[in-house]
Structure formats: C-alpha cells, structure tokens
Structure 1
Amino acid sequence: MVIAAVSSTVSAQENPKVTVGGALRFNYNLSSWKPEQKSRGGDFGYDLFRINAMASYKGIYLNAEYRLYSDAFGGGMLKQGWFGYHFSETNELQLGLTQVPFGIQQYNSNNWFFNLSYYVGLEDDHDMGIKYIHMGEKMEYHLAFFKNAEEMRFGNDTEISPSRYSYDIAGRNKEINQFNGKLVYKFGNNVLQRIGISGQYGSLYNLNTRETGDHYGLALHYEATYKNWNLKAEAMNVSNNPENAPGLPREVISMAAYGAAYEVAADFNIYTMTLAQNVSVDWGPVSSFRFYNDIGYMQKKKDDFEDSVMNVTGVLVTAGNIYTYIDYAAGLNHSWLGGNYIDDFSRGTPGANWEARFNINIGYYF
C-alpha cells in the first residue's frame, strides 16, 4: 500500500494519517538438485506474512515493514523502518533502517528471486543510518551515512543475527561507518533513460583482533524505458579487506540473511542485465503480464575461485490484488540454486553443473 506524499509545503498537518497494509504469500518450487522433492512433484507451502505501516503527522512520516517467515528462514524480521521529512517536493531526509543508495533501485531485477547482486548485499539492502535524497527533474542524488547494518544484539563482541532480510557481512566482522553517494541523470522523450554512478566506502570492525579493515563498492548503471519495454544494465566493482586474526583467510567474507550464513569472495565484479515487457489484457481478474529475463554474472578476482552465474526467465501475472511470479531460475555456483550452499559464492566448485528451480510465488497484497 502507498501513502499519499506529504504536502510539498512544510506546513503542519492537522490530523495524523495512518495506512496499514501487507501481504500473504505462498510458494511452490521444484528443484533439479533435490531428487526426493522431484519424486513427489515439488512442494507448495508458506512463504511469508508481512505488515506495512505508513503514517504522517506535522510533516514527519513513518515507513515500516515487518516480515514473518518460517523459523527455517529466519522467522520474524524488520525489513525496513524509518522516519522521514520532506523539506520540499524534491528534498527529503530519512532516518532509521533505510535502503542503501547503491545501483538501480528499488530493484535491479524483475523476478521473485532478485538478481545476483542481492545475494552479496548490493540489491535492496537496508542499513541503520541517515539519508538525504534530492529528486530533481533531470538530476537525482542520494547522500547517506550508515552507522552499521541492522543491529539486534547489543553485546560487547556479539556477532550480528542472521535473522535479517538484507545480506550483510557477518561472523567476526561488522560493517560500521559507511558512506554512500549516488548520482543519476535523467533524459529522453520517447525513450526515458537514467544513467548513474554509485559509490560506497566503510569500515569492517573485527571482533577478534579489534582492528578495523575497510570495504568499498562502485557501480555504473543504466535504465531505459520505451513504451511497454524496460532495460536495466549495471556493472559493479567490490572489495572487502577484513583485519582477521592470523591464520584466518582474508580472501573470503561471511554474509548472512534468512537465518543462515555463507561465504562470499572478498573481491569481485558483478555484471547484470534485465529486459522486461508489460502486456495489458482484460481476462476477467487478470489485467497484465510482465515478461522478463534477468541475468547476472559474478567474476571473482581470485584466480582459483569459480565464477557464479544466475539467469531467471519468467512472468509476473497481475489479477486484482494477487500478484503471481512464475519463474525458471538457473544457477551455476549459486548458493540458493543447488551445489554447495556454504562456499558457492566464494571458492565455488570446479566443473559444477547448472542447477535450476521452477518456482511459483502467489501473493495477495492489501
């Protein structure tokens, strides 16, 4: 659900306004690497229940989303939650668990699985901090400072909880004091285009050595919309330099979300491209189809690490308040698509086979 924008003037709002929405989703999947599941024709079950709350009063507003997954996928978690203030129609401040301004947003993908960038914390990531947004007609920029990733454990040397929506660096390293900047130029008449650059730099505090390493990311991104077609392309360069204890590898980092952690290569490039077409129909409750193909390639900089690839072909079906993603997702050295979950995004497996998952996600959004 979307709440109406706060008035462009900074005049006080007389009465509080609150909007509550949410979603209930179920999921069917059939995976090539699960022989027992294939023998029973796949599995169909609970995905999530979520609540969205938006409120505004006297020029200050709230945006929050809480999700309930099964215990195996992390249980309950706050996806996002921030306070905001509009200085004008084009200038806004957000404080709290807010989306990190990096790359194509809101999503660098069209499908239910997201793109490869999501699995290494570079798509729809949310951290704790403050963000300033300017949304001009031609120019758009975002400036942000994040004290840390979402924190739920406040011990002296406590690792982050893996029960989170966004992938963040985990284990004995913690993301702290991160700066982000993003600049987008918008142009075109018949073809609406957006070209931009994003950068982030922050520290990695190690709980064993009590020393601080660093990490950075750079991205170039481009979007084009022509009639009912949409194209997205992005190139990312990322490096993580943890100050681990002697004897512990520095060419991999640990990342966590959905109740579990896995390894990711410390240094890599990611290249993504998506193409989508919207088709309007009048078939009873069905009003539109969105056909798409999203591809991502992760090039790991360490020579003996195997690269990772992901491709998703699918369609989003809209019928009233029900949105159904029908996806065929294929992956090579992909932790969520067969193979070895722990190190597919780091070392990988030489000679690994492609694995695939046919997935249908059905959600009622209210």
Structure 2
Amino acid sequence: MWHSCRTALHTSAEFGRLGVQLETIRYANSFDGNGSITGNWYGACNRDCVIIGAYGFTNRLAARGDIDIANVSYKLPGSIGPFSGFVVYNDWSRLRKSAAGYADSYQNVTGVTFSSGGWAIIVDVANATNEPYLSPGFGNALATGGGARSSGHRFNANIGYYF
C-alpha cells in the first residue's frame, strides 16, 4: 500500500521587470514492501526510498525530504534586430533528503528566453549535483546520491514555433 503526505508554501511575484518565485515543499512517502522490481539493474529500495519512473526508466527517490526552490527573472527592454521579449533567468532548487547518509540534490539553470514573431527561443546552461538527467548517478541520484562523480552540466537550446 502506498501512503503520501506533503505540505508546501509558495509565492510568485513581479516587481516591475523583476520576477521572483519561492517555494518550499515537505514530502513523505511510504510503501508497504521493499519496492523491488524484478530484474531492476540497481536493486531494491528499503524504507528510505521509493521507486519512481519517467521516460521508460526507473529511479530511486528519497522517501522523505524537503524541496527548496528560488527562481528570479528579469525582463530586458527593447529588441535586437527581429528578436524581442528578452527574459534572463536563474532557477535554483535543492532536494534535502531525510535519510541518514543520503546526499542532497541540487540544480541551477541560468538562461535567456526571447522571441521573433511566432518563434520562441530558450537558451540555458544547467548545472546539477545528484540529479538523474545531469549527473552520472542516474538511478540513485535522487536517493543516496553521492559518489566520486555526482555533478554534471548541460547546454540547452530550444526553438519552437507557435501558431
């Protein structure tokens, strides 16, 4: 049987061109059983973690913890050639895990968004420690984390057309 409990406080505000988003989340999950999956490449969970999945992969997640989020953005005035609507941003988050010996997870993304007509462009750099898609410890990053190489980074460029 699966049990979940969570609490959150958040705010989002704009002060002229400056945007601020703050949030803290406390969560606790439990699963009656060891959470193991037959054939799982990284082993079963104990009561300190739960198994989650996305995009065809499974990961371990600390069963209890706190998530802190602090995002800031700034809308730049004007345009450069056909491009306008420039917004620079920094999005930071931390997962503080409650289990003894579990290393915290961090992520920081700094970038800019802008547009031209129906085109929207996002360019950013993401840095993370113990994050499954940016650090080498994929299956355990959100649970025990740590390891000799637990940090990574990625450059992202996204272009979309809205009609």
In structure 2, distance between residues paired with 1:359 and 1:339: 18
Name the amino acid aligned to 1:229: L
Runs (4+) of structure 1 moved beyond 6 Å?
Answer: none
- 2:49 maps to 1:260: no
Pick the structure with greater CA Rg: 1
- 2:153 maps to 1:356: yes
Query: 1:251 is matched with which residue: 25, 32, 48?
Result: 48
For residue 146 of structure 2, give the secondary structure of its aligned residue in structure 1: coil
Give the C-alpha shift of residue 245 in structure 1.
5.0
Cα distance change, pair 322–248 in 1 and its aligned pair in 2 (3 A): closer
In structure 2, distance between residues paired with 1:222 and 1:248: 34
Match of 1:22 in 2: none
Q: Deviations over 1:150-206 (max 9, x none)?
A: xxxxxxxxxxxxxxxxxxxxxxxxxxxxxxxxxxxxxxxxxxxxxxxxxxxxxxxxx
CA RMSD of aligned residues (A): 1.8
Give the C-alpha shift of residue 253 in structure 1.
0.9
Query: 2:69 is matched with which residue: 250, 272, 284?
Result: 272
Per the normalisation by structure 2, the TM-score is 0.88
Could you say which structure has the greater relative contact order, defined with CA pairs below 8 angstroms and 6 or more residues apart?
A: 2
8 Å CA contact 2:45, 2:51 repeated in 1:
no
Match of 2:95 in 1: 298
Per the normalisation by structure 1, the TM-score is 0.40
Where in structure 1 are there 5+ consecutive unaligned residues? 1-211
In structure 2, distance between residues paired with 1:229 and 1:248: 43
- 2:129 maps to 1:340: no
In structure 2, distance between residues paired with 1:213 and 1:326: 39
Give the C-alpha shift of residue 351 in structure 1.
4.8
For residue 76 of structure 2, give the secondary structure of its aligned residue in structure 1: strand
Give the C-alpha shift of residue 231 in structure 1.
0.3
8 Å CA contact 2:10, 2:21 repeated in 1:
yes
- 2:11 maps to 1:217: no
Match of 1:71 in 2: none
Give the C-alpha shift of residue 267 in structure 1.
0.5
For residue 291 of structure 1, give the secondary structure of its aligned residue in structure 2: strand
In structure 2, distance between residues paired with 1:245 and 1:327: 39
Count of residue correspondences = 155
Match of 2:39 in 1: none
For residue 280 of structure 1, give the secondary structure of its aligned residue in structure 2: coil
8 Å CA contact 1:306, 1:350 repeated in 2:
no
- 2:124 maps to 1:327: yes
